[in-house]
Structure 1
Amino acid sequence: MPDFLLDPDVVFLNHGSFGACPRQVFDEYQRWQRELERQPVRFLQRELPGLLADARLQVAHYLGARPTEIVFVPNPTFAANEIARSLPMGPGDEVLMTDHEYGACRFAFQFAAQQKGFRVVEQAIPLPVESNEAIVDTFWQGVTEHTKLIFISQITSPTALTLPVAQICQRAKEAGILTMVDGAHAPGQIDVHLGDLGADFYTATCHKWLCAPKGSGIFYVREDRQSLVEPLVVGWGWGPNKTFHRENEFLEHHEWLGTYDPAAYLAVPAAIAWQKKTMTDEVRHRSQDLARAAVAMAAEIEGIERVHPDSFFRQMGLIDVTAKYVDADMLKSRLYDEYRIEAPVVRWKDRIFVRVSTHAYTRQDHIETLVRALQEI
């Protein structure tokens, strides 16, 4: 399988969970690890500040933000916890999200709500959706005078739905409501320009669709909102004897949280370079076509239904198998054990979906294998 290290004996249709790292990017990741081990003190104390600054600059350029607005974090769950615990919210305040949000991030806000007394409101977005305008109007029904923060995914994890977050952020700005966008599935799958998006806070993984090493993510906080954010982990960057001596407190608080392996962060620019060279419009459109083919072909099986019109999903498609009364765990196990297909089977409310993720390495025969397996099961 060119470029990727994936097992060629597995039909890998689950890029959306953890991504897959191209060989060139993984080599760069290991190169940074070797550099660290050659002289750890020199690397961590003297070289790392400049290396992180350069990596942030490249990420900021790629995502349309200022370098002082972005820090590296392990994943969006980390960033969601930081916002949930930082913002001055208490009894009478509300955080509004959809009922399509990623479980770990939802739990972060629910946990903080128990500690601080605010309320988490989940506004239902019924499927199938009809239009972006209908999504915005339906979501806005959950807004009240108590809404202090909107937390919403750019592309939802359980339902692979692309949401009109720019419109929601604009409407929230007009209403004086803060916004945080979970872009875990966005960079690398769709174009992202944070300056145009209008969110106050944004987080994303780099190890999913951007194809960077595991454990690399970004946390964006608009410069005029950085005073609202407290560090989730207090380390040397907080006290008077700072490690990196940044003028920007947001960067200082996040760039030295204790000893860690920064290689995944430093390899993100290599992933961006690989994206620009390899994931051309032609390759991305081909991947989208394969996802849409999987949905269309599966829908020809009696009892299996489509969920979204093509315009609402990209390289992740949903196959609704609810009417087949299948057990989700059994289906996932059989797909892998009998057919060597790695694809998530998602429980969402009272429905069961097979989520299909396609990428540059996906082939037509992979899709045919999945459809044949669903027919037989």
Structure 2
Amino acid sequence: MTTNLTQHFLLDPEVVFLNHGSFGACPRPVFEDYQRWQLKLERQPVEFLDSRRGLAANLRVARTALAAELGTDADSLAQVTNATTGLNIALQSLPLKPGDEILTTNHEYSALEKTLLFIARRTGAKIVTVEIALPLNSAEAFHDAVLAGFTDRTRLLFLSHITSPTALLFPIERLVAEARQRGIWSVIDGAHTPGHIPLDLDALGADFYSGNCHKWLMSPKGSAFLHVRPEWQAMIDPLVISHGWTADNKEPGVRGPFGASAFVDEVEMQGTRDPSPWLAVPSALAFRRDHDWWQVAAECSRLAQETAARVRDLFGLPALSAPSLSAPQMVAMPIPPCDPIAVHDALLRDYGIEIPVFEWQGHHIARLSCQGYNTREQMDLLVKALGELLGLEQPRRKLGQA
């Protein structure tokens, strides 16, 4: 990379951090703004948390800034702690019935697979899981595989925009449009998407979309959003009934008790909690603008893809997808069969490398994330370490095995 911004981050210099995709890393000036909000809270908690005296207005500022970044209206965007929470709000609000079908894929995040199972057991709906075969080399292959799963009983389409285990960028746009044409709700898991690829929520047209700000957008941990199209906001019920709840009409244009849309107030105003991560989102957006982060991201993408190609050459294993269908800055790299926990621990213990290593549906994977604080020298170390741990020369001894 021609640009390295390590000095702006708080990461341990003794660790080669290649796992931005799990929890992100917050830049120093954004973290300082987060702490400024926390200090303000502690200095006068009543004033800070009183919606009449400032909280509602502060939340609105953050929501408006994020909405502009994501191509939508602030009254269709509510802050939540993480994407799993946002998706649970959407999924648990849908009036599914016995015999309804939930169409999804075999690449979804495990927490949301459990959520879908919970919904199915509670409502009597049936989960239909489409297998997206690997390697995935064309958008048409993905589109056709999911489209073949639609039936006259399909009521809900649940897809990841960027998958967690396989780091695939699913081309979901045509399927979202197809679902709308058929009267099927679309719920999109965008946990890895904001800040990773440009996102225009209104143009995409998904009925429900939840994403994290604390991953690739680099805001503090605990900042995420739920986006709901206006026509479905009246259907949304928060997971917690608290001060923001209203029994009145929640149709578009109706204000909630704290001045936002009724949908936003119900989701956001849920008793005492620290909103500082969310209030620091504008600072994260400003940091990205100040450092031309889409250019930084493009450099990171090149470095990630080049490193994945080196690992493929090292082990002679095919890629899991065409480059165009891989998440730009996050690549699931196939590695030889191994004990993934042992490999992960050896990478951290012997090389200081933090990277997820796991087995997924018969594939052994090291998932590389590349962000502005990473360097080519770190990629060299990763390739060297994987070669030493998983190469043909005494791999068992190198992993500490007998």
Q: Alignment partner of 2:13: what SS?
A: coil
Tell me the equivalent position of 1:79: 86
Write the letter of the residue equivalent to 1:97: T
Tell me the equivalent position of 1:298: 311
Q: Deviations over 1:50-89 (max 9, x none)?
A: 0001111111101001110000000111112112211000
* 2:41 aligned to which of 36, 41, 66: 36
Question: Residue 129 of structure 1: CA displacement?
Answer: 1.2
* 2:166 aligned to which of 136, 159, 164: 159
Tell me the equivalent position of 2:100: 93
* 2:111 aligned to which of 101, 104, 115: 104
Tell me the equivalent position of 1:170: 177
Question: Residue 252 of structure 1: CA displacement?
Answer: 1.9
Q: Deviations over 1:257-299 (max 9, x none)?
A: 1100000000001111111222434311110011011111111
Tell me the equivalent position of 2:272: 259
Write the letter of the residue equivalent to 1:325: P
Tell me the equivalent position of 2:343: 331
Do the aligned residues in 2 keep the contact of 1:336 with 1:342 (CA within 8 Å)? yes
* 1:198 aligned to which of 192, 205, 219: 205
Write the letter of the residue equivalent to 1:315: Q
- Structure 2 distance, partners of 1:245, 1:261, is 17
Do the aligned residues in 2 keep the contact of 1:25 with 1:271 (CA within 8 Å)? yes
Q: Alignment partner of 1:108: what SS?
A: helix
* 1:371 aligned to which of 383, 387, 400: 383
- Structure 1 distance, partners of 2:175, 2:185, is 11
- Structure 2 distance, partners of 1:138, 1:239, is 42
Q: Alignment partner of 2:7: what SS?
A: coil
Q: Deviations over 1:317-373 (max 9, x none)?
A: 12111xx22011111111111111111113221111100000101100110110000
Structure 1 runs (4+) greater than 4 angstroms displaced:
239-244
- Structure 2 distance, partners of 1:305, 1:130, is 11
**Mind listing any 5+ residue stretches in structure 2 that lack a counterpart?**
1-5, 249-254, 390-402
- Structure 2 distance, partners of 1:10, 1:94, is 45
2:324 pairs with 1:311: yes
2:340 pairs with 1:340: no
Do the aligned residues in 2 keep the contact of 1:308 with 1:318 (CA within 8 Å)? no
2:373 pairs with 1:361: yes
After TM superposition, the structure 1 = structure 2 runs for residues 273-288 of structure 1, keeping only pairs within 5 Å, are 273-288=286-301
Do the aligned residues in 2 keep the contact of 1:154 with 1:164 (CA within 8 Å)? yes
**Mind listing any 5+ residue stretches in structure 1 that lack a counterpart?**
none
Question: Residue 114 of structure 1: CA displacement?
Answer: 1.0
Write the letter of the residue equivalent to 1:90: K
* 1:179 aligned to which of 168, 176, 186: 186
Q: Alignment partner of 1:148: what SS?
A: strand
- Structure 2 distance, partners of 1:104, 1:295, is 27
- Structure 1 distance, partners of 2:257, 2:62, is 15
The CA RMSD over aligned residues, in Å, is 1.6
After TM superposition, the structure 1 = structure 2 runs for residues 109-258 of structure 1, keeping only pairs within 5 Å, are 109-238=116-245, 244-246=257-259, 248-258=261-271
Question: Which segment drifts farther, 364-373 or 236-245?
Answer: 236-245
* 1:26 aligned to which of 20, 28, 31: 31
Output the TM-score relative to the length of structure 2.
0.90
- Structure 1 distance, partners of 2:280, 2:96, is 36
Q: Deviations over 1:97-133 (max 9, x none)?
A: 1111111112111112112211122111001112112
Question: Residue 302 of structure 1: CA displacement?
Answer: 3.1
- Structure 2 distance, partners of 1:61, 1:171, is 26
2:26 pairs with 1:12: no
Write the letter of the residue equivalent to 1:72: Q
Q: Alignment partner of 1:202: what SS?
A: strand
Percent same amino acid at aligned positions? Answer: 41
Sort the Cα spacing of 1:240 and 1:37 in 2 relative to 1 into closer, same or farther, 3 A.
farther
- Structure 1 distance, partners of 2:55, 2:290, is 27
Q: Deviations over 1:210-250 (max 9, x none)?
A: 00000110100011111121111111111579995336220
Do the aligned residues in 1 keep the contact of 2:256 with 2:263 (CA within 8 Å)? no
Question: Residue 184 of structure 1: CA displacement?
Answer: 0.9
- Structure 2 distance, partners of 1:239, 1:338, is 56
- Structure 2 distance, partners of 1:356, 1:218, is 25
2:8 pairs with 1:3: yes
Q: How many pairs were matched up? A: 375
Write the letter of the residue equivalent to 1:16: G
Sort the Cα spacing of 1:261 and 1:38 in 2 relative to 1 into closer, same or farther, 3 A.
same
- Structure 2 distance, partners of 1:116, 1:7, is 46
Write the letter of the residue equivalent to 1:228: M
- Structure 2 distance, partners of 1:347, 1:161, is 16
